[in-house]
A = this chain, B = another copy of it.
Amino acid sequence: MGDTETRSAGRPRSTEKDAAILRAALELLASHGYTRMSLSQVAAAAQVSKSTIHLRWKTKADLLTAALAAVRMADAPPPSGDTRADLTAILEDFAATVERVNGMALIGTCLAEEAHTPELLALLRERTVLPRRALLRQVLEQARDRGEIRPDADPEAAVSALLGPFYADYMAGRSGRTGWAGDAVDLVLAGLDAAGR
């Protein structure tokens, strides 16, 4: 109302419903997985009819792709300049986020569906994995510029060394180990110590 922008005739699509559908779809994707969730469940959770979903997205894959595309990494904690503290904060925020949104199940779904619906994993990468890696890389580059770590260190490998223990712990059933982030940071900083060996 009061909106004078050009728009197509007829009743405009409700953006509240758009959002409700996407939110419900994402939650079900994480909790039930791609194939086990049903559009009926999404419709019920979003309080719309199944047809309303199909009106917006042609297929189930389209809907879930859109739902994943709407995922955004939450704002990162502001850097303090202390390399060790900043890296640890990013890693702990990562772990907390994964836990909060049932992230390992979501990751599992995207991995399991990779052969069938590769967009899912691609989107997960683009929206969550790569942005977080960029944050970590940034801190590492600053540290390198300040001479805290070796100039020839491969930053991508270092980022994987920081994040990796989280996944490895989960696979081992050691999820939620306290101090993992600090340990990872210690190890990487020690390994890349500017003093070398």
Q: Which residues of A contact B (CB under 8 A)?
A: 10, 31-36, 49, 104-105, 107-116, 125, 129-130, 133, 154, 156-169, 171-174, 177, 180, 183-184, 186-188, 190-193, 197
**Minimum distance in angstroms from A11 CB to a CB of chain B:** 10
Instruction: Kindly identify which residue among B35, B130, B171 contacts A172, using a CB–CB cutoff of 8 Å.
Output: B130
Q: Is the CB of B180 within 8 A of A186?
A: no
A184 CA to B160 CA, complexed, in Å: 9
A33-B35, A183-B154, A188-B191 known; A107-B116 Cβ under 8 A: no
A186 CA to B157 CA, complexed, in Å: 11
Which residues of B lie under 8 Å from residue A34 when comparing CB positions? 33, 35, 112
A188 to B161, CA, bound (A): 9
CB within 8 Å for A168 and B167 given contacts A104-B114, A114-B104? yes
* Residue of B10, B35, B162, B187 touching A36 (CB-CB under 8 A): B35
Of all chain B residues, which has the CB nearest A173? Answer: B125
- Give chain B residues whose Cβ lies under 8 Å from the Cβ of A190: 190-193, 197
Interface contact B109-A105, CB-CB below 8 Å? no
A129 to chain B: which residues have CB within 8 Å?
171-172
Question: Can you list 17 pairs linking A and B with CB atoms under 8 Å apart?
Answer: A33-B33, A104-B111, A108-B109, A108-B112, A108-B113, A111-B111, A111-B112, A125-B173, A157-B177, A159-B168, A163-B171, A164-B164, A164-B166, A164-B169, A186-B191, A190-B190, A190-B193
